[in-house]
Amino acid sequence: MPPAIETVDLVKEYGDLRALQELSLTVEEGEFFGLLGPNGAGKTTFINTLVGLVRKTGGEARVFGYDVEDDYRQARDAIGLAPQEFNVDRFFPIREVLIHKAGYHGIPEAEAAERADEVLKRVGIYDKRDERFDWLSGGMKRRLLLARALVTDPDLLILDEPTAGVDVQLRHDLWELVTELNEEGTTVLLTTHYIEEAERLCDRVAIMNEGRKVTVATPDELKTRGTDTIAVRLESSPSAAPDLEAADYAHETTLAGDRLEVRVDDGGSTAPQLLNDLEAKGYEVADLEISRTSLEEIFVDLTRSEDRTVTRSSASNDERVAPADDRETEREQEGIV
């Protein structure tokens, strides 16, 4: 079977701005894959390229082996997209919105109605089926976007910041639902700013920055790129930090009052040696604790760019809109009438 998503040297340019820069990425069928990056990293541009809202400048992009431009219909029918922005027709009851969406993908009306009822029940808003979009709460609107993505029974579910601005309970409800969908065989591509979300849900994550792929790894693999900090409270405040230059385990040593912090690769195995070295130098230790670099800190370090070669406008890359002749309207693509 071909990968769920495969891009090779994918490029998208808006004039002098390169939103995607030779992006090569593979998401295997059945994966729960995370896409992380700061604002302007190119995440939404990447998604919009997959679903046909943005026309690529160069490179290749395929969904289950279908070229996203040459085989647009087959590629798009395989995808269910829950976008970050609300783009639902406000003049129809939400059940009709789902029926129209299914009909756009060639699903007969009777079957579309059955599917609409099914997904509304699954996301927990079936009792709101006759209400218009504007009458829903923010959390219910998020659930509706997910229902609309699911009404075509897609093989690939793309979630663009699905839990942005929702309360903790709804976030956990959505986590449970998308996990169930993935376990049932649906490939999931998730973009998120919540590191905890990616760590909890994703098999692998790709970190993007300035349109480039920085790395692809499992959350556990990313954690191994961090370091431990051994924090030692001394019985008294020395005038200077202990000299640990000869210790090959110490990457960095800082002292603030009676608190000594030593950055090491593995705090558990290094702590006994550090205690011995401090005792040999005449320091008395009152307390000791070990902390691991968080996944969030690793993410920030990987995406930090000291020398930005691209001049950005006040709007992020992801917020820029392709010229009208570069895309079909979102209304047409999403089947909203």
Task: List, for residues 176-230, the tens digit of each pLDDT value.
Answer: 999 999 999 999 999 987 888 888 999 999 999 989 999 899 988 887 777 888 9
**What is the DSSP track for 324-337?**
GGGS--HHHHHT--
- Please answer whether residues 8 and 316 qualify as being in contact, where contact means their C-beta atoms are separated by less than 8 angstroms: no
Q: What is the mean pLDDT of the chain?
A: 86
Which residue type is seen at 43? K
Q: Nearest to residue 8, comparing CAs of 58, 43, 59?
A: 59
Q: What is the mean pLDDT of residues 234-253?
A: 85
CATH 3.30.70 in the chain is located at 227-292
Query: Using CA atoms, how far apart are residues 131 and 188, in angstroms rounded to an integer?
Result: 29
Query: Using CA atoms, how far apart are residues 23 and 317, in angstroms rounded to an integer?
Result: 15
Task: List, for residues 44-95, the tens digit of each pLDDT value.
Answer: 999 999 999 999 999 999 999 999 999 999 999 999 999 988 888 888 999 9
Q: Is the pLDDT confidence value at 313 over 90?
A: no
Beta bridge partners of 188: 32, 157
Q: What is the mean pLDDT of residues 113-126?
A: 96
pLDDT at 150: 97
Query: Using CA atoms, how far apart are residues 310 and 187, in angstroms rounded to an integer?
Result: 33
Q: Is the pLDDT confidence value at 333 over 60?
A: no
Beta bridge partners of 66: 63
pLDDT at 332: 38
Which top CATH class is 227-292? alpha beta
Which residue type is seen at 21? Q
- Please answer whether residues 281 and 242 qualify as being in contact, where contact means their C-beta atoms are separated by less than 8 angstroms: yes
Structure tokens at 208: 């993007």
Q: What is the mean pLDDT of residues 229-241?
A: 90
In this prediction, residue 5 has a pLDDT band, given cuts at 50, 70 and 90, of very high
| CA distances (Å), origin 254, targets 116, 148, 240, 263, 279 | 60, 53, 9, 9, 18
Phi-psi map region of 225: left, alpha, beta (phi>0 left; psi -120 to 50 alpha): alpha
Considering just the CA atoms, what is the radius of gyration of the chain in Å? 25
Q: What is the mean pLDDT of residues 2-12?
A: 96
What is the β-pairing status of strands 17-27 and 5-14? antiparallel
Task: List, for residues 141-161, the tens digit of each pLDDT value.
Answer: 999 999 999 999 999 999 998
Structure tokens at 195: 């590191």
* pTM, 2 dp: 0.76
Query: Using CA atoms, how far apart are residues 104 and 123, in angstroms rounded to an integer?
Result: 21
Structure tokens at 50: 């997959």
Q: Is the pLDDT confidence value at 318 over 70?
A: no
CATH 3.40.50.300 in the chain is located at 5-222
Does domain 5-222 sit in CATH 3.40.50.300?
A: yes
